[in-house]
């Protein structure tokens, strides 16, 4: 019995880190370099390409929005305030890579029929951003290449964008400009590694 117990403990000690490592969710170490992000997880590049082909939104625009919203943390949520030792409700229902709120996510599922989509799944999250920016272009005539205004519509909602609620939020204007700059940076970087990344995903078939 003692030998079995010791053997079991040994297997647990050796195997558990491997299991945890294999199940760990990818988190880019440098979110300011799009090439490094995609080299670290080639599946993400393939998912981004598919979203681009499906919705027409440039990869660098979608990724810049996601970077701002969650820093590519799969289970990101708004911070929770506390009253003494009592946790208060979160400020919104935003969750996951795209920080999609419940109403927008429900609209996405209804519109696309993607009933099994999860906000903490990169493939679904990048598809959501592609869908949202595509719908913004269709309903508000905001170019999918216009990162600045696309982000304002993404953050404020299409109704808020039409009402120009962002004009009363100087901090949001600064954030939108930051996202625009990140998209431009990502665009330049992607041009340098696109061929390399394409070869990697093409080599799988």
For 34-68, write each residue's pLDDT tens digit. Answer: 999 999 999 999 999 999 999 999 999 999 999 99
The residue-averaged pLDDT of 57-86 equals: 82
Contact 55, 130 (CB under 8 A): yes
The residue-averaged pLDDT of 73-95 equals: 62
Residue 164 lies in a domain: yes
**What confidence score (pLDDT) does residue 75 get?**
86
Residue 79: band (very low, low, confident or very high) from pLDDT cuts 50, 70, 90? low
83 bridge partner residues: 86
**What confidence score (pLDDT) does residue 202 get?**
86
Residue 66 lies in a domain: yes
Residue 179 lies in a domain: yes
Average per-residue pLDDT in the chain? Answer: 87
Residue 154 lies in a domain: yes
Residue 76: band (very low, low, confident or very high) from pLDDT cuts 50, 70, 90? confident
Burial of 136 (C-beta count, 10 Å sphere; 0-12/13-18/19+): buried
Say yes or no to pLDDT of 77 above 90: no
Worst-scoring range by mean pLDDT, 73-87, 99-113, 136-150, 156-170? 73-87
- Tokens representing residue 179 in the block: 């996202």
CATH classification of the domain holding 32: 1.10.530.10
Domain range for 75 = 27-202
95 bridge partner residues: 100
Say yes or no to pLDDT of 115 above 70: yes
Residue 152 lies in a domain: yes
Q: Catalogue the long-range contacts made by 45-50 (C-beta closer than 8 Å, 24 or more residues apart).
A: 45/197, 45/200, 45/201, 46/201, 47/122, 47/123, 47/126, 47/127, 48/126, 49/201, 50/123, 50/127
Sign for the pseudo-dihedral over CA of 189, 192, 198, 201: negative
Containing 87, the helix (H) or strand (E) segment is: strand 86-87
At a CB cut-off of 8 Å and minimum separation 6, what does 92 contact? Answer: 78, 101
Residue 21 lies in a domain: no
Smallest CA-to-CA distance from 66 within 107, 94, 25 is with: 94
pLDDT digits (tens, 9 = 90+) for 140-193: 999 999 999 999 999 999 999 999 999 999 999 999 999 999 999 999 999 999
Residue 4 lies in a domain: no
Residue 7 lies in a domain: no
Question: Based on the structure, what is the number of domains in the chain?
Answer: 1
The residue-averaged pLDDT of 66-78 equals: 90
């Amino acid at each position: 019995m003692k030998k079995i117990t010791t053997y079991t403990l040994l297997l647990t000690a050796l195997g558990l880190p491997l299991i945890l490592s294999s199940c760990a969710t990818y988190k880019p170490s440098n979110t300011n370099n799009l090439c490094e992000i995609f080299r670290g997880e080639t599946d993400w590049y393939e998912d981004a390409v598919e979203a681009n082909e499906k919705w027409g939104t440039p990869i660098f625009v979608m990724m810049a929005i996601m970077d701002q919203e969650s820093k590519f943390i799969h289970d990101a949520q708004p911070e929770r305030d506390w009253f003494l030792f009592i946790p208060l409700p979160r400020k919104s229902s935003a969750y996951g890579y795209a920080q999609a709120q419940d109403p927008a996510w429900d609209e996405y599922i209804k519109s696309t029929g993607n009933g099994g989509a999860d906000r903490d799944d990169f493939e679904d999250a990048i598809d959501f951003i592609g869908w949202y920016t595509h719908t913004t272009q269709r309903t508000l005539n905001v170019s999918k290449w216009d990162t600045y205004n696309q982000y304002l519509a993404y953050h404020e909602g299409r109704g808020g964008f039409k009402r120009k609620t962002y004009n009363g939020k100087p901090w949001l204007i600064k954030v939108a400009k930051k996202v625009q700059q990140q998209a431009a940076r990502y665009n330049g970087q992607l041009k340098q590694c696109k061929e390399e990344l394409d070869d990697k995903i093409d080599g799988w078939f």
